[in-house]
A and B are shown apart, each in its own frame.
Chain A
Amino acid sequence: MALITCEALSLGYEGGTVVSDLSFTVEKGDYLCIIGENGSGKSTLIRALLGLKEVSRGKIRYGDGFSRQGIGYLPQQTLVQRDFPATVTEIVCTGFLNRKRFSFFYSEKEKKEAADIMDKLSVSSYKEKSYKALSGGQQQRVLLARALCAAKDLLLLDEPTVGLDPLMSATLYRVIQQLNREGLTIIMVTHDMEAALRYASHILHLHKDTSFFGTKEEYDHCQVCAQFLDEGETPHD
């Protein structure tokens, strides 16, 4: 059975339905990119997959390989109070909590892993700094590092490259590709079409009634997407 199966899924808020009648599957080891215009329900879908948002109709089924203990998540927005006292290391390490019961100390192995991840994302130089004193892009890297610490089986990223400089974006895509090759399942929301088409194995394109789901190759031949790409280019006239 697939890792995640969505059957005729509908999601909405009090104001109305956002996603309707959506079906798709995610297999272990897939690299799924979710694309679509602003407000098409990408973040809502991610939150529903994580159980943070209730489903209005349809069903999400989770396969055997699915466990909370292996999920990493990067929210699109994290509202942190302006004056919250927390260092980068403290925040990154909370990624390990999905696998811990009582937790006064982190193991040496976890500390080492956190240090490696912080190195990869170039966070190490400010790891003892206060989170609130960092720039927006630096904060994004910290939350990415936390997500990577948590992700053993499945990584959900909601617009991970927003706010990152081009060099860091490229690094991030490389790190994620590497993790995917090692067997990690990736679900990523992005507006970066080029990256989506380069790295993804599957594409889910959310669009009111005509959502598309399929492999990247199938996507290259479909209608909606061509339209979407055209729309994206019109302002250049």
Chain B
Amino acid sequence: MTDFLSALASFFSYPFVQKALLVGSLISLSAALLGTTLVLKRYSMIGDGLSHVGFGALAIATSFHIADVAVGFALPVVVIAAFFLLRLSENSKIHGDAAIALISTTSLAIGYMVMHKNGTNVDVGNYMFGNVFTITDSDAVFSVVLAIAVMLLFLLFYHKIFSVTFDESFSKAIGVSPALYNGMIAVLTAVVVVLGMRMMGTLLISALIIFPSLTSMRFCKSFFSVVTVSAGISLLAFLLGILLAHFLDFPAGSTIVVINALFYLAGMIFSKIRSRL
């Protein structure tokens, strides 16, 4: 037991671990806050599509040796893609989900093509699955600032975001513009996706956004409780995930997703049992 505690203490004393904990916690929290709205608006696929666009953008940035500013390059690209995907999914004349699938697979294909052509030293696995322990200092600062900005904006406009999520026509009638707040959600999601990509990877980031909300929706009845509980779940899953990953030598991103999946399962069983009582 003392062995374990001292191992834990030494784990937390590494600067790279502290950095990972800080960045990861903030990203997990901001992802979970946005998740509720995205799930309720049926926008979950947008998060997934954006992560693929992000992969393409990161791959291109790295291949052209602008890796230092890769995130700075990917961010505007993904924000623009977010607006585009939002328009597609709002326009009922096009099959929004099919269009998102087209855009995300195309970005993935272009990204991999560019990577393949420009040398073999780029680690594709790192982009696909991320690594929270190898975040650079400048990326860490960037991530902390943006994640805090995302959370602040969300809290500041919390009720308006709720209103627009619940009932767009009423909101528009009283002057709370759905276009504005949907756009804001799309931009914030784009930011979280880009930040989360370094940590979770392209393939796993959307799990970080939607899992905690889906779990808390199984047993919370108010919007406020869903948002706060999912933030808590997300943080807990991140901390547990990173510890397990370290001590059992699992990849961190995948471990976090698996723990989120287990939480979801537990939530499902809990709500089933409660409804029987």
Contact = CB atoms under 8 A, between A and B. Distances in A.
Q: Are A and B a genuine interacting pair, yes or no?
A: yes
Given A78-B167, A81-B40, A103 B159 contact: yes
B222 A73 contact: no
Given A80-B166, A85-B226, A68 B175 contact: yes
A225 interface: no
Interface centre among B159, B172, B176 (most CB of A within 10 A): B159
Interface of B: 40, 155-160, 162-163, 166-167, 169-176, 217, 220-226
A220 interface: no
Contacts of B159: 93-94, 97, 100, 103-104, 106
B166 A94 contact: yes
Interface in A43-97: 47, 50-52, 68-69, 71-73, 75, 78, 80-81, 83-87, 90-91, 93-95, 97
B156 A104 contact: yes
Nearest to B226: A85
A104 B155 contact: yes
B223 A85 contact: yes
A28 B225 CA distance: 41
Nearest to A147: B170
A90 B223 CA distance: 8
Given A68-B174, A85-B220, A94-B167, 12 more contacts: A50-B172, A52-B169, A75-B167, A80-B166, A85-B226, A86-B162, A90-B223, A90-B224, A97-B163, A103-B160, A129-B221, A130-B221
Contact of A71 (B167, B173, B220): B173
A177 interface: no
B158 A103 contact: yes
A33 interface: no
Contacts of B171: 94, 97
Contacts of B175: 68-69, 71, 98
Interface centre among A47, A68, A69, A86 (most CB of B within 10 A): A86
Please provide the 8 A-B residue pairs with the shortest distance between their CB atoms, ordered closest to farther: A68-B175, A98-B174, A130-B221, A94-B163, A103-B159, A73-B173, A87-B222, A50-B173
Nearest to A78: B167
B226 A97 contact: no
A150 B220 CA distance: 27
B231 to A, nearest CB: 14
A73 B222 CA distance: 23
Nearest to B223: A86
A102 B157 contact: yes
Nearest to B216: A85
Contacts of B158: 103-104
Nearest to B220: A85
B174 A97 contact: yes
Q: Which range contains the number of A residues in contact with the other chain?
A: 35 or more
B44 to A, nearest CB: 13
B165 to A, nearest CB: 8
Interface of A: 47, 50-52, 68-69, 71-73, 75, 78, 80-81, 83-87, 90-91, 93-95, 97-98, 100, 102-104, 106, 129-130, 133, 143, 146, 150, 156
Contacts of A95: 174
Nearest to A86: B223
B193 to A, nearest CB: 24
A98 B174 CA distance: 5
Given A97-B163, A104-B156, A150 B224 contact: no
Nearest to A133: B221
26 contacts: A51-B173, A52-B172, A71-B173, A71-B175, A72-B174, A75-B167, A80-B166, A85-B220, A85-B223, A85-B225, A85-B226, A87-B222, A87-B223, A90-B224, A93-B159, A94-B166, A94-B171, A97-B160, A97-B163, A97-B176, A98-B174, A102-B157, A103-B156, A104-B156, A129-B221, A130-B222
Contact of B222 (A78, A80, A85): A85
A188 B167 CA distance: 20
Nearest to A129: B221
Given A80-B167, A150-B174, A86 B222 contact: yes
B224 A73 contact: no
Contacts of A72: 174
Given A97-B176, A103-B158, A73 B223 contact: no
